[in-house]
Homo-oligomer: A and B are copies of this chain.
């Protein structure tokens, strides 16, 4: 498509409009590899819990680009000291940062050992992709520069941190976007204000002295979105459901009777054969879910049962399971097997937890910790690590809050015969400290 003069816009429910002034960005958006992201949902199977969460990685990629465009425009308007030769590198890297994402990557990657970051680089460096060809028009070396930013190996730490850092455009967009589409309000924060407090300073992005509470609010928004969406126990159940189907299909593929798979690339993936870039780019949510839909009628009773459970949303149920004791888990699995379900496909211990803010507590001069945010005092020209100044940030920082849950079939849990045994094996002593507390409303989004 030929570039026409003037700015182009996309309507977007998060940012209102996404403005494109650079023909390079336009050409990248229209590559086949970017268009593939329209067929990969940002939140994987979470739409089974939050019906509105059906948005794709494509609109997120546009959003990341837009946030970066606004950042650069803010730097320019305020005359900040910023290396303008990197303008395009920043916006392009933001747009392409998820180009290598697999469908349902959280469910797929652990099974197949794929890593979307590495695929992103392969796609960008492969001379046969459209993305590569568009990038190479800037300069022969440009694809490599973009790949370096995505690999966090680019010499400019500043450029890297704008795309992947503690307060990067990726997180800023996905928190707001996931929040809007799921209808969970917690992820909303004041983007205009965030942009106003970020300053490029000596090869890093720092926070103006007055931005303390703004950053607190951002980090807490992230904290809430984790517990309300990303770690939501029903969201995890859906993901586990998909993982189990794929696991069974993989097991069958390796055995004598590979299941019918409607797509050669997926067939290769299930058989653990190496994938070319072209193969990989064939994979999307539609290919995977169509395979699952076909398996509904597969002769293997486990595969067809697992497929039906996922498609008809009869997900595994959970009990909190703080212990993690492997002996006890063996007893649980034995019970499930006695009840007639193969625990390999019908039982999972799921651990949710992350580090919300990874700070540095060393010498004040050692300001180079990657995961930390620094407050910058223009009068004194000094950086102070954020958690030293904020009790709420200290509260959610560093420590890993973990929630451990046991998933198993409702038939087992509700059975008079087996349910009591399971309940006694997972019993815990009342309400526990956060991270061990059920973080969601039992009656919500739980159909």
Q: Mark A residues whose CB is within 8 Å of B.
A: 1-2, 4, 6-14, 16-17, 26, 29-32, 35, 38-39, 47-48, 50-52, 54-56, 58-59, 62, 77-78, 180-186, 188-190, 192, 196-197, 208-213, 216-217, 220, 223-224, 227-228, 262-263, 282, 284-287, 289-290, 293-294, 308, 311-314, 375, 377, 380, 382, 384, 388-392, 394-396, 399, 401, 410, 414, 430-434, 437-447
| Given A185-B190, A382-B430: A311 in contact with B35 (beta carbons within 8 A) | yes
With a cutoff of 8 Å between Cβ atoms, the chain B residues found around residue A1 in the complex are 314, 410, 447
User: What does DSSP make chain A's interface, helix, strand, loop or mixed?
Assistant: mixed
A–B complex contacts, Cβ < 8 Å, 27 sampled:
A2-B414, A7-B78, A8-B443, A10-B50, A10-B447, A12-B51, A13-B180, A29-B447, A30-B314, A35-B312, A38-B47, A186-B213, A209-B438, A209-B442, A210-B442, A212-B434, A216-B224, A262-B262, A262-B263, A263-B294, A284-B293, A286-B293, A380-B430, A389-B431, A389-B433, A392-B392, A392-B395
With a cutoff of 8 Å between Cβ atoms, the chain B residues found around residue A11 in the complex are 50, 52, 182-184, 444-445
With a cutoff of 8 Å between Cβ atoms, the chain B residues found around residue A399 in the complex are 391
| Given A227-B213, A314-B1, A389-B434: A443 in contact with B395 (beta carbons within 8 A) | no
With a cutoff of 8 Å between Cβ atoms, the chain B residues found around residue A377 in the complex are 430-431
Query: What number of copies of this chain does the assembly contain?
Result: 4
With a cutoff of 8 Å between Cβ atoms, the chain B residues found around residue A308 in the complex are 32
Give Cα A440–Cα B431 distance, bound, in whole angstroms. Answer: 38
With a cutoff of 8 Å between Cβ atoms, the chain B residues found around residue A17 in the complex are 192, 196
Give Cα A69–Cα B399 distance, bound, in whole angstroms. Answer: 41
Chain B residue, CB-CB nearest to A184: B11
With a cutoff of 8 Å between Cβ atoms, the chain B residues found around residue A382 in the complex are 430-431
Instruction: From the candidates B12, B289, B294, B391, name the one contacting A183 in the complex (CB within 8 A).
Output: B12
What is the CB-to-nearest-CB distance from A6 to chain B, in angstroms, rounded to a whole number? 6
Chain B residue, CB-CB nearest to A391: B395
| Given A210-B438, A433-B388: A189 in contact with B197 (beta carbons within 8 A) | no
Instruction: From the candidates B2, B47, B77, B439, name the one contacting A212 in the complex (CB within 8 A).
Output: B439
Instruction: From the candidates B26, B183, B213, B447, name the one contacting A228 in the complex (CB within 8 A).
Output: B213
Give Cα A285–Cα B285 distance, bound, in whole angstroms. Answer: 11
B51 in contact with A58 (CB, 8 Å): yes
Instruction: From the candidates B35, B52, B186, B312, name the one contacting A13 in the complex (CB within 8 A).
Output: B52
With a cutoff of 8 Å between Cβ atoms, the chain B residues found around residue A446 in the complex are 8
B54 in contact with A55 (CB, 8 Å): yes
Instruction: From the candidates B13, B189, B208, name the one contacting A441 in the complex (CB within 8 A).
Output: B208
Instruction: From the candidates B7, B208, B216, B286, name the one contacting A289 in the complex (CB within 8 A).
Output: B286
With a cutoff of 8 Å between Cβ atoms, the chain B residues found around residue A431 in the complex are 209, 375, 377, 380, 382, 384, 389
B55 in contact with A56 (CB, 8 Å): no
| Given A185-B190, A389-B431: A9 in contact with B59 (beta carbons within 8 A) | no
